[in-house]
Amino acid sequence: MTRRDTIRIIIVMLLAASGSLASCSALRDSPPTVTPIYITATPLAPILPIVATETPSPTPVIDSPNVALIPTQPQDRTATPTEAPPITLTPTFTPTTTNTPVTPGVVGFVPVGGFGSGVSGGSACTSAPQGIFGTIYQSDPNFPAALGCPLAQSASTVTSAYQTFENGLMIWVSSLGVQPQAAIYALFNNGTYQRFNDTFTDGVDAVSGGAVPPDGRLEPVRGFGKVWRENTSVRDSLGWATSAESGGGAQVLMFERGEMVGVAQAGQMYILITGAPGTWTARSG
């Protein structure tokens, strides 16, 4: 065999092998067609930093006020002093007046301010006052009618105290003669008076109420002070004391409708007539 023949044999074999391969390829399924999926990358949104910022508050707008409505402030102001209120004290007892009211218009009533000619005369008495008491008693025909008859033939000598006030005076007597009870009289400048039993007790009652009087005036003390503090009508009517107490002797003569009290340190005889209100007048003696 020649070389040419060998080459021919090789070519035939290759062709045969190629045909076999083609046959096998024809018998095999065609591969599926793959559709490509294209993925497009979406760019991420940029991350922005969060920065806290303050929101400014709205600026308040103030309406312009009406100038006419704004009160005018005075340039100079002078403080007006306020007068201190009067002292107010709580009574610890109820004073008892011992006078019996007399109805106006009947025998024994004397109008405020003195004894008028319209007062009727009294009946005859079994005894008449003696000494200065009788002289004053008989000096005015209205006195017997107003006072009535004396309850004793002579006056009783007692201890007394006397004090003047802005609008009257006060008298203390150790007893009323036929009545051993000590008494305090508050005589007002309008011609009326009040009589109280003296209930002041040393060591029990306060000597003073601690009130601060104006310059030149005094607060009454002891028995006078107790009546003055515990009775608004007395305190308001008399006002402050204008002098200190003056002690001394006195003479008291009781009558049916009043009494006559002669106070030595005052140099006066006080004629006190029971009534509603009680009235008083004074004579030298």
Q: How confident is the model at residue 196 (pLDDT cuts 50, 70, 90)?
A: very high
Nearest C-alpha neighbor of 98 from the set 180, 171, 183, 168: 183
Whole-angstrom Cα distance, residue 58 to residue 56? 6
Quick one: average pLDDT of 261-276? Answer: 96
Residue 38 in this model has a pLDDT that exceeds 60: no
pLDDT in tens, 74-106: 455 444 544 544 433 333 333 333 443 333 333
The average confidence (pLDDT) of the chain is 75
Vertex 260 angle, CA 152 and 185, to 5° = 120
**pLDDT tens digits, residue range 218-232?**
999 999 999 999 999
Residue 209: C-alpha distances to residues 170, 221, 243 (Å): 17, 8, 17
Return the pLDDT at 98.
40
Q: Is 55 exposed, middle or buried (0-12, 13-18, 19+ CB in 10 A)?
A: exposed
**What pLDDT does residue 109 have?**
34
The token duo for 45 is 């949104």
Rounded CA-CA distance 206/201 in Å is 9
Q: What is the mean pLDDT of residues 29-40?
A: 57
Structure-model confidence comparison of residues 184 and 29, the more confident one: 184
Q: What CA–CA distance (Å, rounded) separates 132 from 202?
A: 35
Q: Give the mean pLDDT of 36-42.
A: 55
Question: Which pLDDT does position 36 carry in this prediction?
Answer: 58
Instruction: Give the model's confidence band at 124: pLDDT under 50 very low, under 70 low, under 90 confident, else very high.
Output: confident
At 178 the pLDDT is: 74
Whether the bond between 277 and the residue before it is cis, its omega within 30 degrees of 0, is: yes
For the cut 50, the answer to whether the pLDDT of residue 120 exceeds it is no
pLDDT for 73 beyond 60: no
- Report how far residue 175's alpha carbon sits from residue 172's, in angstroms, rounded to the nearest whole number: 9
- Least Cα distance to 149 among 100, 107, 117 occurs for 107
d(CA 99, CA 258): 8
Query: With 0-12 CB in 10 A as exposed, 13-18 as middle and 19+ as buried, what is 46?
Result: exposed
pLDDT value, residue 99: 40
CA distance 185 to 143: 20
> Greater confidence, 124 or 158?
158
- pLDDT score, position 104: 34
Tell me what pLDDT residue 129 has. 92
pLDDT value of position 13: 77
